[in-house]
Amino acid sequence: MSDIERAQAVVVGGGLTGLAAAVAVARAGLKTIHLAPQGPPDRRTSALMMPAVRYLQDAELIGEPSGIGHPLQQVRIIDATGRLIRAPETLFDSAEAGLPAFGWNFSNVKLNEAFATAAAALPDLETRPLTLTGLVRNDAGTLLTLSDGTEVQADLVVGADGKKSLVREEGDFRARENGFTQAALVCDLELGRPIGNCSIEFHYPQGPFTLVPAGGNRANLVWIDQRSVLDAARAAGPDALVETFREKSMRLFGSIALATPAHIFPLSTITVTEAGKNGIVLVGEAAHAFPPIGAQGLNLGLRDVADLAAGLAETDLTAPGWTQKLSLDYARRRAPDLARTTGIVDALFRSLLAEMIPAQALRAGGLWALKSLPVLRKQAFGMGMGNR
Ligand SMILES: Cc1cc2nc3c(=O)[nH]c(=O)nc-3n(C[C@H](O)[C@H](O)[C@H](O)COP(=O)(O)OP(=O)(O)OC[C@H]3O[C@@H](n4cnc5c(N)ncnc54)[C@H](O)[C@@H]3O)c2cc1C
């Protein structure tokens, strides 16, 4: 046992939830090792709703959101399906909900920089650019093997290692995975006309084409379609790609220029039956993944971290067996939110793609109801914001 290092906590994964979790765990007073292998920059952007933004500010992971993000005050939905039963154009305005904004849109690179600055200031947090290669449960907790051959005996393990989580697999968590033939193409665009602080969603039968405000005339595009369609559109070259964007956005914005190269992300869903046990907890996409519809993924991941921080604050970290108690408590706290959010996104995704006439009628009727019934609109605002 002499060559084996000891750590009170190890956080695995250097994405946004891993960074936020490492900060939360070290702030709780645990000597923490954060395994954060270097990777290419995360070119996605994240629309974070006000509860998530407030959490980031309270946890001092970011300062004023205006320093690194752009406000989201309106959401406009345009039914571009050309179906028999179509939904009316619908506008949601944060002023209706009595809010200055629904949330803020951030580039993941900027969030990563802000979180890393917060992490660097914590004396109990040590970051290593290593991957986890093995995990075994033993009587003393969990024995981890790192990519440099080091072995670490940890009390608490936080799996923030994304969709293909080794912590989930070797920690023996039951998970259900479902791959889609659709993918998401993302890039930044310079538009001839600004979109203000309004996120605009064109709903096509194959998936939404969404422009999210990124300041001035810039917008972040998230286009969901069949993977083969996205690959072909990108392979056709920048000029043809821009012409496709002009067509998909109904030529509403004048000229369009590519501001960044297009990246394509495969889409899948992952659900776990429990998000914590045996001194191991899963956060972010290690615990849940779904298509980027309604901007829920990172919002949910940050609620994982907020619940982990709350659980740590209520736990006696010196009592025998505290990690077992904490991980079970975490699983119990997270279960309703994970089930509810996954259910909403799944229903939304299926309703967007459904070719069945009854499903189209339901979706169109739902949007009509949302457009005209204030009580329903209020509930929809709350759900989209991730209010609990
Ligand atoms: C196109 C698109 C748009 C999106 N837009 C939004 C949005 O607007 N709003 C929103 O809330 N969400 C959005 N999401 C979802 C959001 O991006 C994700 O939920 C979030 O980034 C997941 O973060 P994560 O840290 O859990 O996982 P990841 O970002 O995947 O990070 C996992 C990390 O673990 C590391 N890792 C993996 N294996 C190991 C190992 N063995 N050892 C050590 N490290 C390991 C990886 O290197 C990686 O750094 C979007 C997703 C997509 C695809």
Q: What is the pLDDT of residue 126?
A: 98
Pick 66-106+180-266+366-385's CATH classification: 2.40.50.1020, 3.40.50.970, 3.30.9.10, 3.40.47.10.
3.30.9.10
Q: How far apart are CA 153 and CA 157, in angstroms?
A: 10
Whether pLDDT at 376 is above 90: no
Q: How far apart are CA 239 and CA 379, in angstroms?
A: 42
Would you say 51 and 385 are in contact if contact means Cβ atoms under 8 Å apart? yes
**Buried/exposed 87-102: b ≥16 CB within 10 Å, e otherwise:** beebebebeebeeebb
When the pLDDT of each residue in the chain is averaged and rounded to a whole number, the result is 90
Grouping H, G, I as helix, E, B as strand and the rest as coil, residue 264 is: strand
Length of the chain: 388
CATH superfamily label, 5-50+107-177+269-351: FAD/NAD(P)-binding domain (3.50.50.60)
pLDDT in tens, 144-184: 999 999 999 999 999 999 999 999 999 999 999 998 899 99
- Around ligand 1, the residues with Cβ closer than 6 Å are 12-18, 35, 37, 39, 42, 44, 46-48, 131-132, 160-162, 166, 184, 186, 222, 265, 284-285, 292, 295-299, 301
Domain boundaries, the chain: 5-50+107-177+269-351, 66-106+180-266+366-385
Strands (E), the chain: 5-12, 32-35, 45-49, 69-72, 74-79, 90-93, 103-107, 125-128, 132-138, 141-146, 151-159, 175-191, 198-204, 207-213, 218-226, 256-258, 263-272, 276-277, 280-282, 288-289
Burial of 357 (0-12, 13-18, 19+ CB in 10 A): exposed
Closest Cα to atom 38, ligand 1: which residue? 161
Q: What is the pLDDT of residue 74?
A: 93
pLDDT in tens, 66-76: 999 999 999 99
